[in-house]
Structure 1
């Protein structure tokens, strides 16, 4: 019996079954539950989920640059901070920069570290010049004005979380949502963290 599937080339999963698995992916079920409901091997479901995520990533990378008002922030993903350790607690954590277009569109990228050398090229590559950029007080964002942006800072270490329309609450909320969602899956291996 030859199965036809216009979504997956040379697949042994029917179109109907693929749509069913895709629906469960959209409903945020993990691969084990999806495999159980669809009667497909968990390994096959994992492979399908990876293909779906890769396709989403590909389509998102084709999007145009952000313009207007954009919030920029960095965050660290990994094991919880060890109590008693000084500093940002970022040893063995994965730094990620995030850009949020006010209105809901998000761009994230894993970076080796949160230095100006890493952050400024990403901002220049993803945000149109003369846009308004809101950041926290992190020193690596110095120089955005010299690169052609309107730059506003919020100094969170001084308990300032908003000044009028200037805030980074949207991207901070995104980080909170993302970390909560990843904890549902007990984290993600670093090599799969795209």
Structure 2
């Protein structure tokens, strides 16, 4: 069946657009499956591929070149089939041996960009917020200086690093970062937490939704998939 947005799919464009519109409305996989009549397993597969495509698109706009490890992590996630889309909270108090998911937020122009920081620890964040040098890794220290804020998802806490009064548009940078973090917390809360195996894809989805919050997200997604269609192969 021909579908220019989803190559190799046994699904009509009309049905796929219905699923895409429900995704744009930020419904869960279970809700989309119930409304569309498409199986939950199939919906999970489509949403995984869609989030991977969104992540790739966001990477092309990132103002700081991404480390190879970040790209590799996203590629691994895109190959893993997930039966469940429900997220599980990663809480440091549950298991202190579990490394928290930490990501940085940078504002450039009218957009926010995010990046998971696998080499950053809580002690490094605490040192950076106090203005001390992070001595563990020089490259990581330099990278931290690029970010306006850093979030520790294990504690659901935003740390302010480089607070500036306003950007070129006159908007206080931390106002934008706080707004993004508020959106992200709200989205993750409805999933009742975050699975660290899919943290990157959900984070980039939040980034995408925030940056296009003033647009019709369905239309934005349609234009994205015209250029970069999904494939089931």
Tell me the TM-score normalized by structure 2: 0.52
SS at match of 1:100: strand
Q: CA deviation at 1:189?
A: 1.0
SS at match of 1:168: helix
| Residue 26 of structure 1: aligned partner | 24
Any conservation in 1 of the 2:92–2:100 contact (CA below 8 Å)? no
| Structure showing the higher helix proportion among its residues | 2
- For the structure 1 residues 134 and 180, does the alpha-carbon distance in structure 2 shift closer, same or farther, using more than 3 Å as the test? closer
1:6 alignment partner, one of 4, 7, 14: 4
Alpha-carbon distance between aligned partners in 2 of 1:55 and 1:33, rounded to the nearest angstrom:
22
Greater radius of gyration (CA): 1
| Residue 38 of structure 1: aligned partner | 36
| Structure showing the higher strand proportion among its residues | 1
Q: CA deviation at 1:37?
A: 0.8
| Residue 96 of structure 1: aligned partner | 103
Any conservation in 1 of the 2:105–2:115 contact (CA below 8 Å)? yes
- 5 Å-filtered alignment, 1:44-63, equals 44-63=42-61
- For the structure 1 residues 164 and 15, does the alpha-carbon distance in structure 2 shift closer, same or farther, using more than 3 Å as the test? closer
Alpha-carbon distance between aligned partners in 2 of 1:134 and 1:193, rounded to the nearest angstrom:
20
Any conservation in 1 of the 2:90–2:195 contact (CA below 8 Å)? no
Unmatched segments (≥5 aa) in structure 2: 65-88, 125-133, 151-160, 167-171, 201-233
Residue 105, structure 1, aligned to residue 112, structure 2: yes
- For the structure 1 residues 36 and 167, does the alpha-carbon distance in structure 2 shift closer, same or farther, using more than 3 Å as the test? closer
Alpha-carbon distance between aligned partners in 2 of 1:40 and 1:7, rounded to the nearest angstrom:
17
Aligned residues: 146
Output one character per residue of 1:38-83: Cα deviation in whole Å (capped at 9) or x when no partner: 11001110111111110011111112527xxxxxxxxxx843868x
Tell me the TM-score normalized by structure 1: 0.61
Over aligned residues, Cα RMSD in angstroms?
3.3
Q: CA deviation at 1:25?
A: 0.5
Unmatched segments (≥5 aa) in structure 1: 67-76, 83-88, 128-132, 137-151, 155-162
2:180 alignment partner, one of 174, 179, 182: 174
2:91 alignment partner, one of 79, 99, 102: 79
Greater relative CO, 1 or 2 (CA 8 Å, sep 6+):
2
| Residue 190 of structure 2: aligned partner | 184
